[in-house]
Amino acid sequence: MTQGGGARDRLDGLWARGRAFLGVELAIMGGAMTWVSERHLVSAISNAGGFGVIACGSMDPGRLRDEIRATRALTGRPFGVNLIVMHPQLAKLARACVEERVGHVVLAGGLPPAECLQILRAGGVRAIGFAPALAIARKLRRSGIDALILEGSEAGGHIGAVSTSVLAQEILPHVGDVPVFVAGGIGRGEAMVAYLEMGAAGVQLGTRFVCASESIAHPRMKQTYIRAPARDAVPSAQLDPRFPVIPVRALANAGTKRFIEVQRDVIARFDRGELSRDEAQLAIEHFWAGALRRAVVDGDVENGSLMAGQSVGMVTREQPVREIIDEILAQGLSVLGARGSGR
């Protein structure tokens, strides 16, 4: 990669705050994807100069400790851990991160409990929270969060209702006291630079890394991603507001079609008095149980959950992590270089 020093200096200036906060060369975070963001992908992102993040998912504290140690055996560079705030052992997981000397913890899935934040703060761990709205960003700041991730609806997995571009305009001008990382639908360096120029401290990418050579995602899953256009990454459907479905963006497949049929059948059974409301809700929620593992590990691309952001259309081949990051950097530097030369 050969770019003018002026463009690189401008980029370094734009994300200086994010680099300093994460302790890395490049303020590019890896989005935490359950089953995918494990030791191999996380260490590869960190070794390439970015910031890898382990997806704890449903791991227990012992399993998380093993994963942290295994990741540290593959990289001497900083990486973080993503914890789901609804996890029944959240406090123990937070203590495990402190005891394993993890520098940063990303708290996902809602507002983090005060106890969790206190554990991390007392252990010198920096806490990062997700802000799907300005009001939540301000609430997280009042709780003592150290940084924010602004993730729009273009992202894969569990999503909110507002696009990344709108969230950036809503939040970045008003939350300047902590670093803010932008995520959701970012697949190229031009978009990265645009958000940095709006005031972001860095960016987070998930979908672009699923098909990395170092990713353990099943080859069938990778090929499905490579073939998929952006429009195939759709939110999960909800048929009846009486039975809410947490929206998840994933590639449409036979499983997503069957999910609609299951909802229709369960709702009909509820209306006939065959199921209670709680039984019906549980039947709908349990449909996807184990589906993510079936896709990532087993390669069941028809019935598994293929969580993917709309940037999946920019995933065109399997590449090493370093090559992906170098491409994104080159695209961003090209934009900055053209501006510097007056083009």
The confidence score (pLDDT) of residue 343 equals 52
Q: What domains does the chain contain, in order, with CATH numbers?
A: 5-217+316-340 (3.20.20.70), 229-307 (no CATH)
The confidence score (pLDDT) of residue 114 equals 96
CA distance 272 to 9: 67
Q: What is the SS3 assignment for 35?
A: coil
> DSSP letters of 268-323?
HHHHTTSS-HHHHHHHHHGGGTTHHHHHHTT--TTTS--B--GGGGG--S-B-HHH
For CA atoms 301, 302, 304, 310, the dihedral sign is: positive
Give residue-wise pLDDT tens across range 244-273. Answer: 998 999 999 999 999 999 999 999 999 999
**Within the chain, which residues score under 70 in pLDDT?**
1-4, 341-343
The confidence score (pLDDT) of residue 2 equals 45
In the numeric block, the tokens 């087993």 are attached to: 298
The confidence score (pLDDT) of residue 341 equals 59
The confidence score (pLDDT) of residue 3 equals 52
For CA atoms 242, 247, 252, 253, the dihedral sign is: negative
Indicate the average pLDDT of the chain.
95
- What pTM, to 2 d.p., does this model score? 0.94
User: Phi/psi of residue 11, each to 5°?
Assistant: -65, -45
8 Å CB contact between 39 and 50: no
CA distances from 25 to 16, 17, 73, 108 (A): 9, 11, 20, 25
For CA atoms 302, 303, 304, 308, the dihedral sign is: positive
List residues bridging with 54 in a β-sheet: 81
8 Å CB contact between 217 and 36: yes
The confidence score (pLDDT) of residue 4 equals 62
User: Phi/psi of residue 97, each to 5°?
Assistant: -65, -40
List residues bridging with 107 in a β-sheet: 83, 129
